[in-house]
Amino acid sequence: MIKKLLKLGVIPTGVGGPGESNRWLDTDIPTDASVNIDWFIDVARQAEAAKFDLVFIVDSQFITKDSPPHYLNRLEPLTLLSALAVTTKHIGLVGTLTTSYNDPFNIARRLASLDLISKGRAGWNVVTSGDTGTAGNYGREEHYDYETRYGRAEEYLDVVKGLWRSYEEDAFVRDRKSGVFLDESKLHALNHKGKYFSVTGPLNIQRSPQGEPVIFQAGDSDHGRNLGAKTADAIFTHSPTIEQAQAFYKDLKDRAVKFNRDPDEITIMPGFSIFVGDTDDHAREIEQFYRRQDQSFEQALGEFGRSFGWHDFRQYDLDAPFPVSALEYAKNSFYTASKRITDLAASKNFSLRETIEFFRGARRTPLAGTATTVANEIIRWFGGQALDGLNVQFGHPNQFKRFTQEVVPILQDRGVFREEYEDTTLRGNLGLRKPRFVKNAELCR
Ligand SMILES: Cc1cc2nc3c(=O)[nH]c(=O)nc-3n(C[C@H](O)[C@H](O)[C@H](O)COP(=O)(O)O)c2cc1C
C-alpha cells in the first residue's frame, strides 16, 4: 500500500486577512500586495520550490469599511490563478467561487479553462457565501436562506460535473488525413432540468489531464458538512485544537461512508497561522508581537459583526452582557460560527468586550515553536487523524520562509512530506483518482 503523505497549501492574503487590519503597515509587504500579481507569483514560486500541493485563494464579493485590507482591494481568483498557471509548473491552483451568485455553465467553463491552461492543476473551493450583503451586488433583495443556498450548491455541483463530462477523453480526433476533427458519438449534452437550474449543454471545452478540477468545500453546518462529504475531494476548515480537529475529521469521514464513499477519498486540510522561532518562547513572542500590531480592539469590534451579516456591534454597551439577540442577523450569514460565539458568550456570562477579547485570544495558533516543535506538532495532528494536510496562512514573509526552509525539510526527513512532486496534476499529487468518465445520461437521471 502506498503510504499517504501530508498535503500542504498556502493561503496568500496580501495586505492582511481577517484579524490583520494593520498588516499592510509592515514594510516587508508591498502596500499593494493584494492586487500585485508579481507578489502572488513570488509566493506561489516559494511554495512550489518547497513542493507545496497548492495555492488556495479565498474570496468574497461584499465589503464594508470594516473589511480586512486584503478584502477591500483584491484580484478575482480565476483571473489571478490563470497568471499563476503560466508562471508555475507543478503547484495546484485552487480558487474560491460561490454557487450562490454565478451560473453553473459560466463556472464550469472558466474552471475547465484554468484546468487546461495549467495542464491539470485547477481546483475549486465551493462556498455558498456567508456575506449576506452580496445579494445587493447581484440584484437580489436578500441573501438565500440555508436551505436554498445548500440546495442550489448540491444541484450546482451535479450540473458543473455533468458539463465537465460533455466530451469523452478521446472525443477530439483531430486527424487532418481523414478530415475528422471530432468523433460526434463522444459528445454528450446535459439536458438538465432541476429545481434550481435548467442547463442544456454541452460545454464547449474538452477534459483536462486530471479529468476534472479538484473540488474543495468550506461550510461547517450540517448542510455544509453533508455537501462536502457527498461531493468534495477535499475540505477546507478551521480547527483551533487537536480535539476539535479530530472530531471534525471523524465526523466528515463518517458522513462520507454514509454516502457510500471511501473516506480516504476526502482530504481534510484546515488552515493555520504558523510561527517559527529560535526557541518555543521566541515563537510565541513573535506571535504576540504580530497579534498586538495587527489589530486594535476598536478594529476587532468593527470586524466582529462579519459573521452576523456585518451587524454593527458598536451600538451596544461593551460592558453589558453579550447581546445574544444579535444572532437573528446571522440567520442567513455565517450562522454556524455566530451560533458558536453566542452560545459560548451566554454560557460564560461574557460581556461584549469579554467575548471579543476571548476570541482574539483564541486566535493563538496551536502551531508555534522552533521548527522541530512545529514539525512534531504537525506530525502529531497528522498521525492522530486530525488532518490529512494543512493550509498555511502566508502571514509574514519571514515566517513563511522559516516554514518552507526549516519546517518542511524536517517533515521530509521524517518521511511525511514529499521531496519531489509525484505527478503533473493536482489530483495526482493529492493522491486522488482521476474521475471515471460518466455519460451525462447516467449522471443526471
Ligand atoms: C473554513 C471556511 C472558509 C470559508 N471561506 C469562504 C470564502 O472564502 N468565501 C465565501 O464567500 N464564503 C466562505 N465560507 C462561507 C461558507 O461558504 C458558508 O456560506 C458559511 O460558512 C455559512 O455556512 P455554514 O454555516 O455551513 O458554515 C467559508 C466557510 C468556512 C467554514
Tell me, what's the pLDDT at 3? 64
The SS3 of residue 249 is: helix
Asked whether 90 and 8 are in contact (CB, 8 A), the reply is no
Which residue is closest in CA terms to ligand 1's atom 2? 218
Separation of CA 149 and ligand 1 centre (Å): 11
- Give the mutation target among 59, 102, 129 for probing the ligand 1 site: most ligand atoms within 8 A of CB: 129
- Give the mutation target among 127, 252, 327 for probing the ligand 1 site: most ligand atoms within 8 A of CB: 127
Residue-by-residue DSSP string for 106-156: HHHHHHHHHHHHTTS-EEEEEE--S-GGGGGGGT-SSPPPHHHHHHHHHHH
Separation of CA 38 and ligand 1 centre (Å): 28
Tell me, what's the pLDDT at 440? 65
94-123 burial code (b ≥16 CB/10 A, e <16): bbbbbbbbbebbebbbbbbbbbbbbebbbb
Handedness of CA 361, 397, 21, 125 (dihedral sign): negative
CB count within 10 Å of CB 424 equals 15
Q: Cα–Cα distance between 320 and 299 in angstroms, integer?
A: 19
Separation of CA 153 and ligand 1 centre (Å): 12
Percent of the chain whose predicted confidence (pLDDT) is above 70: 98
| pTM for this entry | 0.96
pLDDT along the chain (445 residues), means of 10: 83 96 96 98 98 98 97 98 98 98 97 98 97 96 96 98 95 97 96 97 96 96 96 96 97 97 96 97 95 94 97 98 97 96 97 95 91 98 98 96 98 98 97 82 45
Q: Cα–Cα distance between 36 and 52 in angstroms, integer?
A: 21
Helix ranges (H only) for 168-318 are 222-231, 242-258, 280-294, 297-304
Among all chains, which residue has been given the C-alpha cell 455553465? 105
Separation of CA 127 and ligand 1 centre (Å): 6
Among all chains, which residue has been given the C-alpha cell 459583526? 305
**Per-residue pLDDT tens digits for 132-149:** 999 999 999 999 999 999
Q: Cα–Cα distance between 132 and 62 in angstroms, integer?
A: 8
Ligand 1 neighbours (beta carbon < 6 A): 58-60, 96, 98, 127-130, 218-221, 223-224, 236-238, 334-336
The single-letter code of the amino acid at 171 is A
Separation of CA 221 and ligand 1 centre (Å): 10
Tell me, what's the pLDDT at 437? 79
**Per-residue pLDDT tens digits for 146-171:** 999 999 999 999 999 999 999 999 99
Ligand 1 atom nearest to CA at 334: 22
Q: Which three cell numbers stand for residue 104?
A: 453553473
The Cβ-side half-sphere exposure at 83, using a 13 Å CA radius, reads: 16
